[in-house]
């Protein structure tokens, strides 16, 4: 038996919605819907929402499986729509998610869930009061390499975790001679831009999922390239950070170093690389691969003064095999959330988890401004959001 579920996709013409979220939902449709606990199939019925009629019509025509409209209020008032998903610009997220909650829709949204912790917690409490289900996209933990890293942790491979190193970044062109790969709003504070607000919500859930809860942060950020050109070739001033360098303390005493930059060129395994060092072993993971080195297999290298380093360090690590089938990371999140809505199955990545990411970003900005360590306290849903 087929059951339908109406989903509003706000920001449907943006690259993230088009290439990731729509692709995930269309794959479910192509397979006849998501199989539920009772054997029924849940069929997503999509309504695309955006500001540009021509672009919306073009996207709808390409997928041949959606209604479209520029009238978000109308879509929210339509009882045929059950779920509201937002992947539009960060600056408008708080208002549209709040309106969706008021309209009685279940909400699922990209990070950050809001521009400030106060707004994020308001959404958490509003969803709780309205009795609607909520979710935040946390796609990185479903990637194969990071799944393997979590498996190693669950298998106690590391022993006591000592250190975590997260390296992220690539070069984003300034638009002078080559077109920028990121939209210009990412570099304007008024539009919700800034690397910390954009990426630290990812780092919060990744580090806590892979290594442990964050208890304190110290952060320094920079604006390395202060002038860029927008999509129309017009110059504009960058008023947010494009690089950030942070240390975070974890429960149990481990420390993580997190280097993030849109002004670095890649000479490592991937755009994002995570290394976890433990007393019994270490592992390095990219989005799709993971390598290990146990305590008993650890060599004892020295700095070679007279000649090049004779050891090939990469060859001393063992690859974790692909022993299980992998689901697209965005689709994995959608499947969990839709089962949460339709079958009331558990879903750990609620708006509160999204608020934790905003909290880390906000406290990182404070640490940078005050040039000091800042504690990261637990969030209290029933009372004021502690900072």
Residue 242 has pLDDT above 70, yes or no: yes
Phi-psi region of 220 (alpha: psi -120 to 50; beta: other; left: phi over 0): beta
Q: 227 with 124, same domain?
A: no
Q: 44 with 128, same domain?
A: yes
Q: What ranges make up the beta strands (E) of the chain?
A: 2-10, 34-35, 41-49, 66-69, 83-86, 106-109, 134-136, 161-169, 214-222, 227-229, 235-237, 243-250, 255-261, 272-278, 281-285, 290-294, 318-319, 374-375
Tell me what percent of the residues of the chain surpass a pLDDT of 70.
98
Residue 302 has pLDDT above 60, yes or no: yes
In a domain, 172, yes or no: yes
Q: 128 with 235, same domain?
A: no
Tokens of 220: 């320094």
Mean pLDDT, rounded, for 235-247: 98
292 and 283 Cβ atoms separated by less than 8 Å? yes
Residue 177 has pLDDT above 90, yes or no: yes
Q: 294 with 148, same domain?
A: yes
Containing domain of residue 161, as a range? Answer: 140-319
The pLDDT value recorded for residue 278 is 98
Residue 63, domain CATH: 3.40.50.720
The pLDDT value recorded for residue 384 is 46
Q: 150 with 200, same domain?
A: yes
The pLDDT value recorded for residue 383 is 52
Reduced to 3 states (helix: H, G, I; strand: E, B; else coil), residue 327 is: coil
Residue 178, domain CATH: 3.30.360.10
- Where residue 83 falls among pLDDT bands split at 50, 70, 90? very high
Residue 382 has pLDDT above 80, yes or no: no
Q: 159 with 38, same domain?
A: no
How high does pLDDT run on average in the chain? Answer: 96
Domains contained in the chain, number: 2
Q: 152 with 301, same domain?
A: yes
In a domain, 367, yes or no: no
Residue 5 has pLDDT above 60, yes or no: yes
Task: Give the whole-angstrom CA distance, residue 107 versus residue 136.
Answer: 8
Residue 259 has pLDDT above 60, yes or no: yes
DSSP 90-140: GGGHHHHHHHHHHTT-EEEEPSPS-SSHHHHHHHHHHHHHHT--EEE--GG
The pLDDT value recorded for residue 65 is 77
Q: 123 with 231, same domain?
A: no
Q: Which has the minimum average pLDDT: 53-67, 69-83, 147-161?
A: 53-67
Nearest alpha carbon to residue 326 among 289, 284, 283, 275? 289
The pLDDT value recorded for residue 64 is 79
The pLDDT value recorded for residue 381 is 78
In a domain, 127, yes or no: yes
């Amino acid at each position: 038996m087929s059951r339908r579920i109406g989903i509003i996709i706000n920001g449907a013409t943006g690259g993230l919605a088009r290439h990731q979220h729509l692709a995930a939902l269309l794959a479910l449709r192509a397979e006849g819907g998501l199989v539920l606990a009772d054997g029924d199939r849940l069929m997503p019925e999509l309504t695309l929402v955006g500001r540009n009629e021509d672009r919306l019509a073009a996207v709808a025509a390409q997928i041949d499986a959606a209604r479209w409209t520029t009238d978000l209020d109308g879509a929210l008032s339509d009882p045929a729509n059950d779920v509201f998903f937002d992947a539009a610009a960060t600056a408008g997220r708080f208002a549209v998610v709040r309106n969706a909650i008021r309209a009685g829709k279940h909400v699922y949204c990209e990070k950050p869930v809001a521009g400030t912790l106060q707004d994020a917690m308001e959404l958490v409490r509003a969803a709780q009061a309205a009795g609607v289900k909520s979710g935040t996209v946390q796609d990185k933990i479903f990637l194969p390499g990071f799944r393997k890293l979590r498996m190693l942790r669950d298998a106690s491979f590391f022993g006591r975790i000592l250190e975590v190193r997260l390296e992220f970044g690539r070069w984003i062109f300034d638009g002078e001679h080559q077109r920028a790969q990121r939209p210009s709003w990412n570099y304007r504070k008024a539009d919700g831009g800034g690397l910390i607000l954009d990426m630290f919500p990812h780092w919060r859930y990744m580090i806590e999922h892979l290594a442990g809860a964050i208890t304190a942060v110290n952060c320094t950020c920079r604006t390395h390239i202060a002038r860029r050109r927008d999509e129309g070739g017009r110059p504009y001033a960058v008023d947010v950070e494009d690089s950030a360098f942070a240390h975070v303390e974890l429960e149990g005493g481990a420390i993580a170093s997190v280097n993030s930059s849109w002004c670095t060129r890649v000479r490592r395994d991937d755009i994002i690389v995570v290394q976890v060092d433990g007393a019994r072993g270490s592992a390095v993971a990219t989005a799709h691969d993971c390598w290990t080195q146990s305590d008993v297999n650890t060599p004892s290298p020295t700095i070679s003064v007279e000649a090049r380093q004779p050891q090939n360090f990469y060859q001393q690590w063992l690859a974790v095999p692909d022993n299980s089938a992998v689901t697209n990371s965005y689709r994995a999140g959608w499947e969990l959330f839709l089962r949460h809505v339709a079958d009331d199955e558990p879903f750990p990545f609620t708006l509160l988890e999204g608020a934790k990411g905003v909290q880390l970003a906000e406290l990182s900005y404070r640490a940078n401004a005050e040039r000091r360590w800042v504690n990261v306290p637990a969030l209290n849903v029933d009372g004021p959001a502690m900072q």
